[in-house]
Amino acid sequence: MKLPKAEILILFAFLVCMALWATSKCSQRRADSVHRVREIEGSDSEERPAKRDTVVVQSAPKTPVIQPRETSAPPPVTQSPPTALLTPQPGAAPKRPTLSNQTSTPIPPPSTAGSTLFVTIDGLKVRKEPGLKGETLAELKLYEPVTFLNKKTDWTQEISLGYEKVTDHWVKVRTQSGKEGWVFGAGVHYYKMKRQGVLEDKKPAEDPKKKKNK
């Protein structure tokens, strides 16, 4: 059954109106939703600070540039030329050259010279061998100087001096007359002094009348 043309036109117009109405309705809903979104964004923008349009990129911290300090160069060290070796004159003892980095120190006397000791016991005996059994070479007086020959025994001996007993080494000395021998270490000292505790042999004084008779 065919519809008349008038009905077809009415139906077509109705469909067009429905399409326009639906389109306008959708547009209205879309506009309302966009308006609501804008209102929400506007309220958020009032509460929050305004956003920056551009992103700020933080630059890396600058490393401090250390400029080299200008140090004054030390003054050039002038090296003194080595001391020339002088040719010793005939008969003169050669002298050792003094280096610049060495301080002049007094040269100690040779060990053969020894040091001076003084007798502290009157009648101290000089023996050929260390010990009381050694042969007597000389007898020294109080305060008499002798030369210490830098030799002593490894062992010690205890000797009674009369009022006390003393333990000491035997030392080798040279007398003023040139004799070399051993003396008890307690009987000599670096200073002039008289040792205490020594029993001295006192000879009885002779009667002057007996001397005249003689």
- Per the domain annotation, does 58 fall within a domain? no
- The total number of residues written for the chain in this structure: 214
Instruction: Give 168-207 pLDDT, tens digit per residue.
Output: 999 999 999 999 999 999 999 999 999 888 877 655 445 5
Gap between the Cα atoms of 209 and 151, Å rounded = 51
pLDDT at residue 204, rounded to an integer: 45
Q: How far apart are the first and last CA of the chain?
A: 208
What is the arithmetic mean of pLDDT over 12-40?
A: 82
pLDDT at residue 91, rounded to an integer: 56
pLDDT at residue 59, rounded to an integer: 59
- Per the domain annotation, does 91 fall within a domain? no
Half-sphere exposure of 117 (CA within 13 A, CB side): 23
pLDDT at residue 99, rounded to an integer: 45
- Per the domain annotation, does 55 fall within a domain? no
- Per the domain annotation, does 148 fall within a domain? yes
Q: Are strands 188-189 and 157-160 parallel, antiparallel or unpaired?
A: unpaired
pLDDT at residue 88, rounded to an integer: 54
Q: What is the tally of structural domains in the chain?
A: 2
- Per the domain annotation, does 145 fall within a domain? yes
Instruction: Give 105-138 pLDDT, tens digit per residue.
Output: 444 444 445 799 999 999 999 999 999 999 999 9
Domain of residue 176 covers 115-189
Token code pair at residue 104: 């002049």
User: Which domain CATH number covers 140?
Assistant: 2.30.30.40
- Per the domain annotation, does 173 fall within a domain? yes
